[in-house]
Amino acid sequence: MKLIQLILNILWVVLCGFWMALGYLVAALICFVLIVTIPFGIASLRIAGYVLWPFGRTTVERPDAGAPSCVGNVIWLVFAGWWLALGHLLTSIPLFVSIIGIPFGWANLKLIPISLMPLGRDVVPSDEAFGAR
């Protein structure tokens, strides 16, 4: 199973992962420059790593996430989240058109929720996802 995940991740990076991760890195740099938004920059870097190498990993809600994460997610959604979600949507279209890219198109669409609401979530290996809840 690890070999399949490695092959899928390599193909993902070549087809769309690098460019999507670059979008998250740009968002992180903007957040770091604005000082007050450093927590958003940290979340953006976490997602960039996940978007760069997604197969074999998933996201789970953090049990200690509360109202500040909810408020932060609303702010993120307004200023950066919808741009990144739009990037995932637009990247998935050519993947769906090419028959071989359909699994990667679905994977791209599955990344939209975390691009919209990244705070209060952790990236974990997919075999630990159910045990971490």
**Looking at the predicted structure, is the pLDDT value of residue 61 above 90?**
no
pLDDT of residue 44: 92
DSSP-derived pairing of the beta strands 121-125 and 57-61:
antiparallel
**Looking at the predicted structure, is the pLDDT value of residue 1 above 70?**
no
Mean pLDDT, range 105-120, rounded to an integer: 91
pLDDT of residue 33: 94
pLDDT band at residue 68 under the 50/70/90 scheme:
confident
Mean pLDDT, range 83-104, rounded to an integer: 91
4-18 per-position pLDDT tens digit: 889 989 999 998 889
State whether the Cα torsion 118-121-125-131 is positive or negative: negative
pLDDT band at residue 128 under the 50/70/90 scheme:
low
Runs of H (alpha helix) within 2-120 = 2-12, 18-33, 38-52, 67-76, 82-97, 102-110, 112-116
| Burial state string for 79-107 with b = 16 or more CB within 10 A and e = fewer than 16 | ebbeebbebbeebbeebeeeeebeebbeb
State whether the Cα torsion 79-85-88-89 is positive or negative: negative
CA dist., res. 89 & res. 85, Å (int):
6
- Is there a contact between 119 and 77 (Cβ–Cβ < 8 Å)? no
The contacts of residue 79 (CB under 8 Å, 6+ apart) are none
Q: What share of the chain has pLDDT > 90, as a percent?
A: 48
